[in-house]
Amino acid sequence: MPGMGGRMSTVIKAKINKLLDRAEDPSETLEYSYQKQMELLQNVKKGIADVVTSKKRLQLQQQKLEQQVVKLDTQARQALSQGREDLARTALERKQFAQGELQSLDQQVAELESQQASLIEKEQKLRSKIDQFRTKKEVIKAQYSAAEASVKISEAASGVGEEMADVGLAMQRALDKTEGMRARAGAMEELEAAGAFDDNLALGSGTDDIDKELHQLTSQSAVDDDLERLKAELGSGSPPQQSLEPGEREREA
């Protein structure tokens, strides 16, 4: 809803006045503002649906990454047991990278959850104000002369208009943030398409562009630690499942 978001009270008031100037007949103005209010309520619902869609998309990515982490860990283990430390290191670098992404996804999903909750609350509040306006407009139409009605309408419309502008602003801010997350999700999908999380480790020598990039992105000491852990595990013959627990990733990262 372009133009709904934005500035301070003066701007909001200017918008309301514009709305009221649209019709000279007070009862027409009332109907017109009510119609506008209902339209905005629809927009708010759509905005909430957008937030939910973004969240679902991020959650899907979370699942994929979780699977990748498990898979890469297994591959590192296999590579190491065959004496290919270079391959194991590459797999662990990719795993570290995926874990980093996973952590930031967790945060983003949490943020979207709270935005969703607050928008639903705001939608409810706006709905109450619009209901109140609807009641009031019938009273105004029935009881007041044209001149008096104009004043009453202006008062009632200002109250609900301000709420509309405010929920518009909240929507705008939520969607702007969601946009940023989408861009990040898109970038990750590109990386994925380019093979950053590719299963087929054996085909690369471990020095292609993606590996160089991952090498820069991942924490080398974390990879070293991980490698040591795997070596120790393989050496002592402990069960490999231990590192595959999803809850393990926070501690490792």
**Which residues contact other proteins (rule: CB under 8 A)?**
7-9, 12, 118, 122, 124-125, 128-129, 131-133, 136, 155-156, 158-160, 162, 166, 169-170, 173
Which C-beta is closer to other proteins: that of 32 or that of 71?
32
CB-facing half-sphere around the CA of 241: CA atoms within 13 A: 1
Q: Sign of torsion, CA 176 180 183 185? A: negative
Shortest CB 168 distance to other proteins, Å: 10
Q: For residues 30 and 141, is the Cβ–Cβ distance under 8 A?
A: yes
Shortest CB 125 distance to other proteins, Å: 5
Q: What secondary structure does DSSP assign to 197-224, as a single string?
A: T-S-GGGS-S-SHHHHHHHHHS-HHHHH
Which C-beta is closer to other proteins: that of 104 or that of 118?
118
Which C-beta is closer to other proteins: that of 94 or that of 122?
122
Report the candidate in 40, 44, 43, 48 with the shortest Cα–Cα distance to residue 19.
40
Neighbours of 227 (CB within 10 A): 18
Which C-beta is closer to other proteins: that of 27 or that of 158?
158
Residue 102 to residue 204: CA distance in whole angstroms: 25
Residue 253 to residue 244: CA distance in whole angstroms: 13
Which C-beta is closer to other proteins: that of 176 or that of 224?
176
Which C-beta is closer to other proteins: that of 55 or that of 129?
129
Shortest CB 38 distance to other proteins, Å: 16
Shortest CB 155 distance to other proteins, Å: 7
* Phi, psi torsion values for 17, nearest 5 degrees: -60, -40
**Structure-block tokens of residue 44:** 């708010």
Which C-beta is closer to other proteins: that of 51 or that of 92?
51
Shortest CB 137 distance to other proteins, Å: 11
**Structure-block tokens of residue 191:** 């990386």
The angle formed by the CA atoms of residues 135, 140 and 146, to the nearest 5 degrees, is: 155
Shortest CB 10 distance to other proteins, Å: 9
What length is written for the chain? 253
Shortest CB 173 distance to other proteins, Å: 6
